[in-house]
Amino acid sequence: MTMRIHNTLSGKKETLQTLEPGHVKLYVCGITSYDYCHIGHARSALAFDMIVNYLKYRGYKVTYVRNFTDIDDKIIARAAEQQTSAEELAARFIREFYVDMDKLGINRPDIEPKATEHISEMIALIEELISKGKAYPSGNDVYYIVDSFPDYGKLSKRNVEDMQAGARISINEQKRNPLDFVLWKGSKPGEPTWESPWGPGRPGWHIECSAMSRKYLGETFDIHGGGQDLIFPHHENEIAQSEGVHGKAFANLWIHHGFVTIRDEKMSKSLGNFLTIRDILTHYHPEVLRFFIFSTHYRNPLDFSESAMQDATAGLERLYECVAAVDRLDPQKSDANSASIFTDNDRQLLESMESRFQQAMDNDFNTAQAQGIFFDTVKTINRICRALPAVPSASDVEFLKKCANNLRKLADIMGILREDAESFLAAGKNKMISEGGLDVNAIEALIAERNQCRSAKNWARSDEIRDLLLAQNIELKDGPNGTTWSVKGN
């Protein structure tokens, strides 16, 4: 069985083939650090976190590079607004980025290069481009000659003639051709500046990724990733730069994930539908966000809404409830001699979980299908647990625990079911209690009263109490070991 991954370059799913056997070299475009990260950034980081986890699970060694763009127009503009330096602003939002990433439980990439720490590598690359006749200095800037690269447009599937006809590109007198893009920008007074053969200035955006990927992964590497909005012009320009210099393939496989939308529109500040990661995490557990994000294939748009998040909460709780029920089984209270209650079908279904999971994930990281497999598993486990006698067979208990652990192991690839099940469920309940301003003592006093009524078969009063609590979104569950309660979502 091999892994198939959709390649933006070919527009098709392709079998993963690495340059070095068993080693994936991955470069992902990270953030421009000038503001807090939004859910779209979370999706990007989570998607590649999942991809890296899965590649490792499949036995690959992964070298994962993700850059920080810490010098650019937006950073300079924002720093000026806030009366601080570009350097300070960029460093601050990189720290804030890590706060969010850590909360989401995202593993750090192996290498996280910053643009400002690779100026000399970029200058070297630009000099190579000039010497090969692929770039020219003009004024204080240096531009890439798009016409010098015949494959320009191969990633975004557009051709140079169409783009020139479409000409929404602003006229820049420094450029020979409107499509030429900047490699090096002469700096204006007061802007951050580095010395270069073309005078003081700073790098253009695209050159950093060409320079840093070359340094850390080589001239050709396996996978390059990012959001769909980076396909053009960013990744197209990276290809032009790198292949223009090296004369060979840049990245073999391109992975682009879809956007997070709100009411079916792309999030953007101008539309005012911009939600930061920390906004979301004040309302939802990080694993709920992960579960939500992986409920749709990574290339499809994902529409954020309260109700979608509540569905995700319910789904994740269902998984945790199942795991918690298995955790509660006590091997000490099982019987080594009693017969198993599993049918062959049950056993077969549970034993095939991992291979079905792999089949889903091997098919372009189909996390949505993988989640479906988790639910199938949960359904079977729940059915068995329900049918278990008071003193179950020791081998059944052992098998159920093995299945639950296996479920945890696979769920961990998408970063869910990482917490102790009882604690997760209790935390959810406590959150609801505090958000609802509920008085636990009063609730439990009512439950005690109700249980007295129930013993006395005073059903009228006990139902009255239950309805009273239900009006506060509190649901009672009368079990063999007493009454438990939970808080309903709205």
x-or-dash string of contact with RNA, 172-211, rule CB under 7 A: ---------x-----------------------x------
Instruction: Candidates 190, 247, 437, 479: give the one binding RNA (CB under 7 A).
Output: 479
Q: Is the bond into 389 cis (omega within 30 degrees of 0)? A: no
Instruction: Candidates 96, 128, 311, 419: give the one binding RNA (CB under 7 A).
Output: 311
Burial class (CB in 10 A: 0-12, 13-18, 19+), 187: middle
Place of tokens 């063999």: 480
> What is the C-alpha to C-alpha distance for residues 490 and 488, in angstroms, rounded to an integer?
6
Check residue 473 and give left, alpha or beta (phi > 0: left; psi -120 to 50: alpha).
left
Structure tokens at 458: 């005073």
Please identify, among the stretches 95-103, 377-385, 394-402, 405-413, the one whose residues bind RNA according to the rule CB under 7 A. 377-385
Residues within window 89-118 making contact with RNA, judged by CB under 7 A: none
Quick one: CA torsion of 8, 104, 49, 355, rounded to 10 degrees? -110
Please identify, among the stretches 87-95, 129-137, 306-314, 331-339, the one whose residues bind RNA according to the rule CB under 7 A. 306-314
Q: Which is nearer to RNA, 267 or 432 (CB)?
A: 267
Choose among 481, 453, 455, 479: nearest CA to 466.
Answer: 453
**Closest approach of Cβ 482 to RNA, in Å?**
11
x-or-dash string of contact with RNA, 386-415, rule CB under 7 A: x-----------------------------
Longest dimension (CA), the chain: 95
Place of tokens 């980081």: 45
Residues within window 427-466 making contact with RNA, judged by CB under 7 A: 454, 459, 462-463, 466
x-or-dash string of contact with RNA, 142-161, rule CB under 7 A: --------------xxx---
Q: Which is nearer to RNA, 19 or 94 (CB)?
A: 94
**Closest approach of Cβ 268 to RNA, in Å?**
6
Residues within window 215-254 making contact with RNA, judged by CB under 7 A: 226-234
Q: Using alpha carbons only, what angle is made at residue 210 by residues 206 and 213, rounded to the nearest 5 degrees?
A: 130
Residues within window 11-50 making contact with RNA, judged by CB under 7 A: 11, 29-32, 38-41, 43-44
Strand partners, 303: 261
Give yes or no for residue 372 binding RNA (CB under 7 A): yes
CA 399, 405, 407, 413 torsion: positive or negative? negative
Give yes or no for residue 67 binding RNA (CB under 7 A): no
Residues within window 251-290 making contact with RNA, judged by CB under 7 A: 257-261, 264-268
Give the 3-state secondary structure of 410-437.
HHHHHCCCCCCHHHHHHHHHHHHHHHHC
Give yes or no for residue 328 binding RNA (CB under 7 A): no
**Closest approach of Cβ 219 to RNA, in Å?**
23
Q: Which is nearer to RNA, 30 or 415 (CB)?
A: 30
368 neighbors 296 (Cβ within 8 angstroms): yes
| # residues near RNA by CB under 7 A | 85
Q: Which is nearer to RNA, 217 or 378 (CB)?
A: 378
